[in-house]
Amino acid sequence: MQTATVGSILEAISVLDPDDQLFVTEILKKRAIEIRRNQILARAKEAEENYKNGNTQTVTVAELMALSADDD
C-alpha cells in the first residue's frame, strides 16, 4: 500500500483546475461530515446500551455540571 503525505496530496490538488479543486473540497467536506455523523451514532448506541444495561445513574444538573468541569 502506498502512503501519501498531506503535503503531497495538497500539492497534487493545487495543480488541478479551480473547478476540480472545489469538487475535491466538497467531497472531503462531505466525507468529514459522514465520519462525524458515524462517530455520533456510535456514541449514541453506546449510551443507549449503557442505559439498557443499567450502567447509568441519575444526577442533578448541578452534579452533571460539576462532573463536566472536572473533565476540563
pLDDT (tens digit per residue) in 3-46:
899 999 999 999 999 999 999 999 999 999 999 999 999 999 99
Do the beta carbons of residue 59 and residue 67 sit within 8 Å? yes
Residue with cell 479551480: 18
Output DSSP code: residue 54.
T
Please check the confidence at residue 72 and state whether its pLDDT lies above 70: no
Amino acid making up residue 64: L
Range in 4-8, 62-66, 67-71 with the lowest mean pLDDT: 67-71
